Amino acid sequence: MATDISKLGEFGLIRHLTQHIGIKNKETHYGIGDDCAVLNYSDEKDLLVTTDLLMEGIHFDLTYMPLKHLGYKSAMVNFSDVYAMGGTPKQITVSLALSKRFGVEDLEEFYAGLQIACDAHQVDIVGGDTTPSLTGFAISITCIGEVEKGKAIYRNGAKETDLVCVSGDLGGAYMGLQLLEREKAVYYQQLKEANQLKGDARERALKSMEASQPDFHGREYLLERQMRPQARRDIIERLRSAGVQPTAMMDISDGLSSELMHICSQSNTGCRIYEERIPLDYQTAVMAEELNLNVTTCALNGGEDYELLFTVPITDNEKMEEMEDVKVIGYITKPELGMALITRDGNEFELKAQGWNPLKDEES
Site for a second copy in 217-256 (CB under 8 A): none
Q: Residues 6 or more apart from 126 whose CB is under 8 A from it? A: 91, 92, 93
User: Whose Cβ is closer to a second copy: residue 81's or residue 305's?
Assistant: 81
User: Whose Cβ is closer to a second copy: residue 60's or residue 174's?
Assistant: 60
Q: To the nearest 10°, report the CA torsion of 316, 80, 308, 299.
A: 180
Report d(CA 245, CA 284) in Å as an integer: 31
CB of 58 to a second copy, least distance (A): 5
Tell me the per-residue interface mask from 107 to 146 with a second copy, x by CB under 8 A, - otherwise. Answer: xx--x---x------xxxxxxxxxxxxxxx-x-x-x-x-x
Give burial (CB, 10 Å; 0-12/13-18/19+) of 13: middle
CB of 319 to a second copy, least distance (A): 30
User: Whose Cβ is closer to a second copy: residue 7's or residue 204's?
Assistant: 7
CB of 63 to a second copy, least distance (A): 14
CB of 90 to a second copy, least distance (A): 5
Q: Residues 6 or more apart from 333 whose CB is under 8 A from it? A: 160, 269, 270, 271, 272, 340
User: Whose Cβ is closer to a second copy: residue 49's or residue 205's?
Assistant: 49
User: Whose Cβ is closer to a second copy: residue 135's or residue 212's?
Assistant: 135
Query: 3-class SS at 93?
Result: strand
Inter-residue contact 88 to 240 (CB < 8 Å): no
The residue length of the chain stands at 364
Report d(CA 234, CA 219) in Å as an integer: 25
User: Whose Cβ is closer to a second copy: residue 5's or residue 340's?
Assistant: 5
CA 295 to each of CA 211, 253, 287, 299: distance values in angstroms, whole numbers, following the listed order: 34, 17, 9, 6
Site residues for a second copy, window 73-102 (CB under 8 A)? 90-91, 93, 95-98, 100, 102
Tell me the per-residue interface mask from 23 to 62 with a second copy, x by CB under 8 A, - otherwise. Answer: xxx-xx-xxx---xx-x-xxx-x-x-xxxxxxxxxxx---
Site residues for a second copy, window 283-322 (CB under 8 A)? none
Size of the site for a second copy (CB under 8 A): 82
Q: Which listed range, 9-17, 165-173, 199-207, 302-310, lies at the site for a second copy (CB under 8 A)?
A: 9-17
User: Whose Cβ is closer to a second copy: residue 152's or residue 166's?
Assistant: 152
CB of 283 to a second copy, least distance (A): 29
User: Whose Cβ is closer to a second copy: residue 77's or residue 332's?
Assistant: 77
Report d(CA 61, CA 177) in Å as an integer: 10
CB of 42 to a second copy, least distance (A): 4
CB of 16 to a second copy, least distance (A): 7
Q: Say what angle helices 67-83 and 104-120 make with each other, to 10 degrees.
A: 30
Other beta carbons less than 10 A from residue 175's beta carbon: 30
- CA 48 distance to own-chain centroid: 18
CB of 59 to a second copy, least distance (A): 7
* Bridge partner list, 130: 96
